[in-house]
Amino acid sequence: MAKNPKDNSTKVTRIKATDAKPAVTVAKAAKPATVKQPKQPDKQVWIIRAIKAIGAYFKGAWVELRAVRWPNRRATWGLTGAVLAFTAFFVVVILLLDALFKELFSLILK
In a domain, 99, yes or no: yes
In a domain, 85, yes or no: yes
> Domain containing 84: what range?
72-110
In a domain, 93, yes or no: yes
Report pLDDT for 24.
58
In a domain, 33, yes or no: no
Report pLDDT for 2.
55
Q: Could you give the CA distance from residue 109 to residue 49 in angstroms, rounded to a whole number?
A: 68
pLDDT (tens place) for every residue of the chain, 110 residues total: 555 655 556 777 777 766 555 555 556 666 666 777 777 667 778 889 999 999 999 999 999 999 999 899 999 999 999 999 999 999 999 999 999 999 999 999 88
In a domain, 101, yes or no: yes
In a domain, 88, yes or no: yes
Write the CB contacts of 71 (distance below 8 Å, at least 6 apart in sequence).
79
Q: Is the pTM of this model over 0.95?
A: no
In a domain, 13, yes or no: no
Q: Could you give the CA distance from residue 13 to residue 27 in angstroms, rounded to a whole number?
A: 31
